């Protein structure tokens, strides 16, 4: 009896450690882009605009700029932000899951590594959604399906131009990058 209990406890610990070690690989994905930074950003931006389902660009951020401005030497990082009110509305309406607004807008990170390659980082929206019940799981499953469309590149189509926000006048806020105006 004691051996069975010890085996059960060891099994639980092994499963827990395995899950803990694999979680980053399950929650986030990274892939090499076949294009340079600007072309990767531009292709994703245009894919977002052409996906439908209410998707609109809501921002393009450069988190590396702040670090560089503070004297740090970091490789380029750009973050595309997009939102679909079709998907955000049911989550924002429910008190029990409104805290998930922290995940809005949807972000896709494009960055260089020391190997000189450009990478695309995304969150596993489908898996994340399943952790918060059936309604969020269904919505985030749709987000995950659209996210795959954002990252589908046809190398035979010419590269579009990157969409950059207009520089606002002094003291003005930065405008959004599309009809969505954020989430």
The pLDDT tens digits for 117-134 are 999 999 988 888 888 899
The whole-angstrom separation of Cα 55 and Cα 177 is 12
10 Å Cβ neighbour count for 66? 11
In 3D space, the residue among 25, 28, 30 whose CA is nearest the CA of residue 40 turns out to be 30
The whole-angstrom separation of Cα 76 and Cα 65 is 8
Dig out the tokens for 162 from the structure.
């990157």
For strands 106-112 and 118-123, give the pairing. Answer: antiparallel
Q: What is the pLDDT of residue 180?
A: 43
pTM for this one?
0.80
Residues of the chain with pLDDT under 50: 170-181
> Going from the N-terminus, what domains does the chain have, and what CATH number goes with each?
28-150 (3.30.310.70)
Q: What is the pLDDT of residue 164?
A: 87
The whole-angstrom separation of Cα 132 and Cα 136 is 6
10 Å Cβ neighbour count for 75? 13
């Amino acid at each position: 009896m004691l051996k069975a209990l010890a085996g059960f406890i060891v099994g639980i610990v092994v499963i827990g450690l395995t899950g803990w070690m694999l979680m980053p690989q399950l929650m986030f994905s990274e892939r090499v882009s076949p294009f340079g930074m600007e072309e990767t950003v531009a292709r994703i931006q245009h894919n977002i605009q052409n996906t439908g389902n209410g998707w609109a660009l809501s921002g393009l951020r450069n988190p590396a700029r702040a670090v560089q401005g503070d004297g740090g030497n970091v490789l380029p990082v750009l973050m595309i932000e997009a939102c679909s009110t079709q998907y955000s509305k049911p989550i924002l309406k429910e008190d029990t899951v409104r805290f998930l607004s922290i995940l809005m807008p949807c972000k896709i990170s494009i960055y260089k590594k020391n190997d000189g390659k450009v990478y695309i980082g995304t969150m596993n929206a489908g898996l994340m959604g399943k952790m918060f019940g059936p309604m969020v799981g269904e919505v985030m499953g749709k987000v995950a399906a659209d996210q795959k469309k954002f990252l589908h590149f046809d190398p035979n189509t010419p590269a579009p131009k990157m969409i950059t926000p207009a520089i606002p006048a002094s003291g003005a806020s930065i405008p959004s990058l599309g009809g969505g105006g954020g989430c």
